[in-house]
Amino acid sequence: MTSSSKPAPPPYFNIDPAKAAARLSDPIDTVRFAKAATFAAKGRDDLAKRGYSPDGRKRLRKFSTWEVCRYLLDIAPAHLRRVLKAHEDLPQGAGEGGSKWFTLEEVLTLRDHFASEGSSAKQYKSWRPEGQPAKVISVANFKGGVGKTSTAAHLAMSAALDGYRVLVIDLDSQGSMTSIMGGQVEDEWQTAFPLLARDYARHVQAENETRAAAGRSALPLDETLTESLEVSPRNLIQSTHWPNIDLIGAQLNLYWAEFQVPVWRMQARSWPLWDALANALQSDKILEDYDIILLDTPPALGYLTINALSAADILLVPLGASFLEFDSTGRFFDMLYSTFASIEEGENRIRRQNDLPEMKFEWDAVRALITRFDAAQQTDLANVIQAYFGDFMTTYRQEMTAMVGQAGEQVNGIYEADYREFNRDTYVRGRETFDRTWAEIKEILLGTWWRDVQMEAQEDGKA
Ligand SMILES: Nc1ncnc2c1ncn2[C@@H]1O[C@H](COP(=O)(O)OP(=O)(O)O)[C@@H](O)[C@H]1O
Ligand SMILES: [Mg+2]
């Protein structure tokens, strides 16, 4: 190398077209995609096997005395040890020496014990009003990669660690949430698809009764629709490696709903397609079996997302603190406005004609949530976004942490990671990011439940 030599030219100079052509493969036909997909599926299975237990199922790790006393129960380690000694029937944890390791089931048993026998000055169990239905939290934004799935998954796990019973519904045909939860989904019949189909089929049945009475011809009920009438959401719900998180999973075929729903709607204009999922949760009493139902949505404002939004009590809209994400989130709100306002308008026109009370969509709370936040680079922009969104935004910004995504296939996010694999400070900080997100959402959750109870009491008083 000579010291006076010019630096090498940039890599895009002097490209030889003939050599470039020689490096190309033949033109690609559609079959080649199938081949790529097959290879990818094989690779995925290989990778997956490395992290899964031999039976291919995910396992949740155990929690140490340190974690139990630091994050899960408000008790000192010495007190926990005394109580365990005095109550041999309680789970004693596994492992030698001072630190014992407990499964989450065991932690939940310990929590029940303390809640019924521990100090009454302390709150061992998270509050939840009796007799109130689960709150539905939807996480949505039509932009991809903004942290919808990560936020929804972490919230589900935080809530589960807090002892809530959680149902996660994956509405994204990419199925990321389903993988995180270790779900197995064969085809669209194991996703939310049949719930939409059943809602339409029931509508057609009701409509056909009216038509028969009026001597009009019936709307068709094809094989898919007839079959869907047999489906219960309970058959779609699978358990996960978390004892108190259940799942309705997704896979690629769920995308079919985006084509099918508008066809059904064309056949029966009176079908309120946006209510299908909410109806399913309600009519099969799913809302009574859980405390929190979390819906993860695809990066689009399609029919599945509209169903998720319409079923939601609480809507979370994650976005990064960047100009592009702010801009597109603004547009997302604009689309939400026009979509739901036009549904209300259309419905109410018909309702007014029939002397029925008007309908209005309503959410308990809506929050934009800054995700992947880098305080060193993005504080100014985040402050601007905060100023414009005002109380539409959470106050806490979910920070960027290497602990998300890094953990890979077996472990997802902070709550599944074993803290011993990290520097303790890194762990504590990384975890705090999601703990604080949960704290803020939990506050909204408890607040809305509380408000519901007060409102019910007021109405009962009037009656
Ligand atoms: N707080 C965070 N810190 C670091 N990486 C994050 C964080 N939240 C999300 N990510 C990463 O950002 C990417 C997109 O997140 P994801 O939740 O899949 O977005 P979406 O569901 O909106 O498409 C993923 O690779 C995820 O691991
Ligand atoms: Mg996602």
Residue 285 lies in a domain: yes
Whether 245 and 394 share a structural domain: yes
Residue 277 lies in a domain: yes
Ligand 1 midpoint to CA 411 (Å):
14
Separation of alpha carbons 413 and 149, rounded Å:
11
- What residues contact 96, with CB distance under 8 A and at least 6 apart? none
Q: Which atom of ligand 1 is nearest to the CA of 151?
A: 17
Whether 141 and 96 share a structural domain: no
Band (pLDDT 50/70/90 cuts) for residue 111 is: very high
Residue 412 lies in a domain: yes
Band (pLDDT 50/70/90 cuts) for residue 406 is: low
Residue 76 lies in a domain: yes
Whether 81 and 176 share a structural domain: no
pLDDT of residue 103: 96
Q: What is the 3-state secondary structure (H, E, C) of 8-27?
A: CCCCCCCCCHHHHHHHCCCC
Q: How many domains does the chain have?
A: 2
- At residue 378, the 3 state secondary structure works out as helix
Q: Which atom of ligand 1 is nearest to the CA of 153?
A: 17
CATH number, domain at 237?
3.40.50.300
Residue 33 lies in a domain: no
Beta-carbon-side half-sphere exposure of residue 68 (alpha carbons within 13 Å)? 29
**Domain of 316, in residue numbers:** 135-188+233-458
Indicate the residue among 55, 85, 117 that finishes a domain: 117
Given a cut of 90, is residue 421 above it in pLDDT?
no
Whether 448 and 331 share a structural domain: yes
Band (pLDDT 50/70/90 cuts) for residue 4 is: low
Q: Which atom of ligand 1 is nearest to the CA of 172?
A: 21
Q: Which atom of ligand 1 is nearest to the CA of 434?
A: 1
Closest CA to 144 of 359, 300, 366: 300
Residue 310 lies in a domain: yes
- At residue 320, the 3 state secondary structure works out as strand
- What residues contact 401, with CB distance under 8 A and at least 6 apart? 414, 429, 430, 433
Residue 356 lies in a domain: yes
Per-residue model confidence as pLDDT tens digits over 45-89:
776 666 566 677 888 999 999 999 999 999 999 999 999 999 999
Separation of alpha carbons 307 and 274, rounded Å:
5
Separation of alpha carbons 286 and 280, rounded Å:
8
Whether 328 and 442 share a structural domain: yes
Whether 271 and 161 share a structural domain: yes
Nearest CA to ligand 1 atom 16: 147
Separation of alpha carbons 397 and 376, rounded Å:
13
Whether 101 and 242 share a structural domain: no
Per-residue model confidence as pLDDT tens digits over 129-171:
999 999 999 999 999 999 999 999 999 999 999 999 999 999 9
What DSSP element (H or E) covers 41?
A: helix 30-51
Ligand nearest to the Cα of 318, by number: 1
The answer to whether the Cα torsion of 249, 447, 364, 355 is positive or negative is positive
Ligand 2 midpoint to CA 266 (Å):
29
Ligand 1 midpoint to CA 56 (Å):
25
Whether 292 and 318 share a structural domain: yes
Whether 290 and 319 share a structural domain: yes
What is the secondary structure of 205-272 as a DSSP string?
A: HHHHHHHHHTTPPPPP--HHHHHHTT--HHHH-EE-SSTTEEEE---GGGGGHHHHHHHHHHH-TT--
Work out the average pLDDT over 91-120.
91
Per-residue model confidence as pLDDT tens digits over 314-333:
999 999 999 999 999 999 99
Whether 172 and 91 share a structural domain: no
Separation of alpha carbons 197 and 226, rounded Å:
9
Per-residue model confidence as pLDDT tens digits over 207-234:
999 999 999 999 999 999 999 999 999 9
Band (pLDDT 50/70/90 cuts) for residue 120 is: confident
Per-residue model confidence as pLDDT tens digits over 16-36:
999 998 998 888 887 887 888
Out of 335-339, 380-384, 409-413, least confident range: 409-413
Q: Mean pLDDT in the chain?
A: 91
The answer to whether the Cα torsion of 318, 451, 244, 237 is positive or negative is negative
Indicate the residue among 117, 152, 180 that finishes a domain: 117
Ligand 2 midpoint to CA 176 (Å):
6
Work out the average pLDDT over 95-113.
92
Q: What residues does ligand 1 touch, defined as CB less than 6 Å away?
A: 144-150, 176, 299, 371-372, 398, 400-401, 404-405
Whether 450 and 340 share a structural domain: yes
Residue 56 lies in a domain: no
Whether 70 and 176 share a structural domain: no
